[in-house]
Structure 1
Amino acid sequence: MTHIELRYFESCPNWKVAEGRLKEAMLAEGVAEPITYTKVESFEDAERIQFIGSPSILIDGLDPFGPPDAEPGLACRVFATKNGPQGSPTVEELRAVLHRPVS
């Protein structure tokens, strides 16, 4: 069973885009596990859970899109996609990581 977590903070609108794309990718891949939502409300929360920005999508506790040297904080993330910078990974990128072990 895969554990999927979507970490976000409310004032960053990109988490809603990521949520939609994640649900689409999960449907396409036949992944039926529920999404755990973690709302980050303060810098202290961000530090405590090592939140590197909104949205953060964790697969089995690991962020397949997170740079290893990222500092925790409350910021909107930008993802380098094949379509240029976006506020969320693409559906295709999400599909690729749903069944692949994250290192």
Structure 2
Amino acid sequence: MLKIEFLYWEDCPSHPEAWQLLQEVLAEEGLDWPVERIQVAGDLDAQRWDFPGSPTIRVDGKDLDPPGADQMGVALACRVYRLDSEEGSRFSPVPSREMIRRGLLAARGDAAPGLTST
């Protein structure tokens, strides 16, 4: 069974939406994987968890958006995700449903229909 970590900073208003999206995608895919919910409370916690901002989702230690995490560095801040689509790119305070699904299925060893692993 894979390990999922949901890291968040309480002062960031987007973490409840990301938590809900994660729960929905897990249910849609029929994945009964435990999720460790980790509150990052200060700068020391941010360093300890190598925290690129809130919310962060890791599957078996791998961030859903490694390039985005690398760009953010370690910060006790709200995170920004770059979402690409046929219409272009936009920035969002939460990962997309597709980004979450792709990360979960890649960790499981699958590929979602119409999506490629990165």
Taking structure 1 as the reference length, the TM-score comes to 0.90
Distance 2:91 2:71 in 1: 19
Q: Which residue of 1 aligns with 2:97?
A: 91
The 8 Å contact of residues 17 and 87 in structure 1, kept in 2 or not, is answered as: no
Distance 1:46 1:93 in 2: 23
After superposition, the CA RMSD in angstroms is 1.8
Kindly indicate whether structure 1 or structure 2 has the higher relative contact order, using CA contacts under 8 Å at least 6 residues apart. Answer: 1
Q: Greater shift after overlay, 86-95 or 75-84?
A: 75-84
The 8 Å contact of residues 28 and 95 in structure 1, kept in 2 or not, is answered as: no
Runs of 4 or more off by more than 4 Å in structure 1? none
1:33-78 alpha-carbon deviations (Å, 9 max, x no partner):
1210010011011011111100000000110213335421111011
Q: Which residue of 1 aligns with 2:75?
A: 73
The 8 Å contact of residues 15 and 55 in structure 1, kept in 2 or not, is answered as: yes
How far residue 20 of structure 1 moved from its aligned partner, in angstroms, is 0.7
AA aligned to 2:91 is P
Larger radius of gyration: 2
The 8 Å contact of residues 7 and 54 in structure 1, kept in 2 or not, is answered as: yes
Corresponding residue SS for 1:97: helix
**Overall identity of the aligned pairs, in %:** 34
5+ residue gaps, structure 2, are: 108-116
Task: Map 1:1-103 onto structure 2 (within 5 A).
Answer: 1-67=1-67, 68-82=70-84, 84-101=90-107
